[in-house]
Amino acid sequence: MNRVTILIAVAILLASAIAGTVVYYNSLLSDKSSQITSLNQQIAKDNNQIANLTAQVKDLKASTVSYEKLTLSNVSWFYQGAGGIYDWNITFDVTNNGNATAIINNVILDGQSYNSLNPVPTISPAIEKGYTLLPNQTVLIIIKETNSTFFPFRNGGLLDVTTAIGNSYSFTFESS
């Protein structure tokens, strides 16, 4: 072989090697570019999901949970009588410290609903149809009975105020 043929053969082999290398690296770059595109699409989906969750959290924070929370204070009671017949009254303040309206629908004296006593004591304001107590509102409740054989809190006892949603708020009288 002559020298020119060898040079041409080397040039062809060199050109083939360069072309093969270029094709190989182009396919690697194309594969990596495809992976990068796929990752960018996944990042975009994740960012959309994060934005959606952030909006949901904001909505949850905006919608506060409503609740009633009653406190009983300034509780006092008085009785007089003898021979099993008594006149008595109970007074107390009820404050709604919650952020939702409370509907007072029962007062329980020593485990007995006031309206199950005989005779039924008078209660003011009336609660038999429910008394509405707005948030941050206080009401003075007065329960009176005359000529009664029932004598609440004789040896201490429990005063409960119940609401329409089933919550009960208590005050305990100590024995005297």
Q: What CATH number should be reported for the domain whose range is 70-173?
A: 2.60.40.10
The arithmetic mean of pLDDT across residues 154-163, rounded, is: 83
Task: Report, in this order, helix, strand and coil percent for the chain, each rounded to 5.
Answer: 35, 40, 25
Q: Where are the domains of the chain?
A: 1-63, 70-173
Render pLDDT for 57-96 as a digit per residue (tens, 0 to 9): 777 765 667 889 999 999 998 888 888 888 989 999 999 9
pLDDT higher than 60, residue 175: no
Per-residue confidence (pLDDT) for residue 142, from 0 to 100: 96
For residues 81 and 154, is the Cβ–Cβ distance under 8 A? Answer: no
pLDDT, tens digit (0-9, with 9 covering 90-100), for 29-52: 777 777 888 878 888 888 888 888
What token pair was written down for 97?
Answer: 């410290």
Q: What is the pLDDT of residue 165?
A: 94
Q: Measure the CA dihedral 160/163/166/170, to 10°.
A: -20
Q: Which pLDDT score is estimated for 1?
A: 63
At 155 the pLDDT is: 62
Q: pLDDT by residue (tens digit) across 91-142? A: 999 999 999 999 999 999 888 899 988 888 999 999 999 999 999 999 999 9
C-alpha 107/C-alpha 161 separation (Å) is 5
Instruction: Give residue 11's pLDDT.
Output: 79
What is the C-alpha to C-alpha distance for residues 174 and 166, in angstroms, rounded to an integer?
26
The pLDDT tens digits for 12-23 are 888 787 877 887
Q: What is the pTM of this model?
A: 0.62
